[in-house]
Amino acid sequence: MPEGDTVYRTAANLHTALAGHRLTGCDIRVPRFAAVDLTGERVDSVVSRGKHLLIRIGTCTIHSHLKMEGTWHLYAPGGRWRRPAHQARIVLRTAERIAVGFSLGQLNVVGTDEEDDIVGHLGPDLLGDDWDPGRASAAVASDPALPIAVALLDQRNLAGIGNVYANEVCFVSGIHPASPVSAVGGVSDIVTLARRMLRANAGRVQRCTTGDLRRGHEVWVYGRVGQPCRRCGTPISEGELAIDALTSRVTYWCSRCQPAP
């Protein structure tokens, strides 16, 4: 599942492959931007902002969000694609590399000076240069009645946490994901832990929150409903938390290690 660490690593790989090179081809397969052709322009940089990816080319920025299924691949010219061509929403070519964005949840092109219209609402980026733990902690604590997992998932509070990390941070902190923020002591400690988890995974493909990279041992609770808690053996529980009137997130917890509020 793409979260801030995945997007950070993707941006770093794309930056290494594309930055400083001129595009020899630009095929955007989204009707609204299909006429945009940046062929001949030089790629200036590729950066992440929370779960958003920004490719800056001259005065334009190509913005993408992976959502649940999206991914960017890099290929050598003539290389065989690992996903079907009909899933490609954008193809950027240089003399040496081809970058393909597959099944992207969002894709648009804006002026670089308009990036704030897309990402300006985001809180401090857990993996970014703008990281501000005080500001992030204050934002998470600003709605005392909100469940802690929902507060962590709100990208306006801090950018980069998805459902995997929200559940894993709650477990390691010994907090039920539905606990109201007001009942949680040490919000700043939780925010610091979240950043430490993302930073630990920013450079590796296999996400791990337990410190055990063996297959099947990587996470504490996420996706492990019914399996024994790695600490006490209690079966992991599963539930849902409402984000808003239309959206909810699945939560996982150990009823012994994380008592219900």
Which residues carry out catalysis?
2-3, 51, 249
How many Å apart are CA 103 and CA 230, to the nearest integer? Answer: 35
Which of 53, 70, 72 lies closest to 125, judged by CA? 53
How many Å apart are CA 28 and CA 26, to the nearest integer? Answer: 6
Which of 39, 31, 21, 20 lies closest to 91, judged by CA? 39
Q: How far apart are the first and last CA of the chain?
A: 28
Segment (H or E) for 27: strand 25-28
CB-based contacts of 22: which residues, under 8 Å, 6+ apart?
40, 41, 42, 43, 94, 95
List b or e across 158-194, with b for residues whose CB sees 16 or more CB atoms inside 10 angstroms: bbbbbbbbbbbbbbbbebbbbbbbeebeebeebbebb
Report the residue count for the chain: 261
Phi, then psi, of 52 in degrees rounded to 5: -100, 145
How many Å apart are CA 10 and CA 3, to the nearest integer? Answer: 11
How many Å apart are CA 231 and CA 67, to the nearest integer? Answer: 32
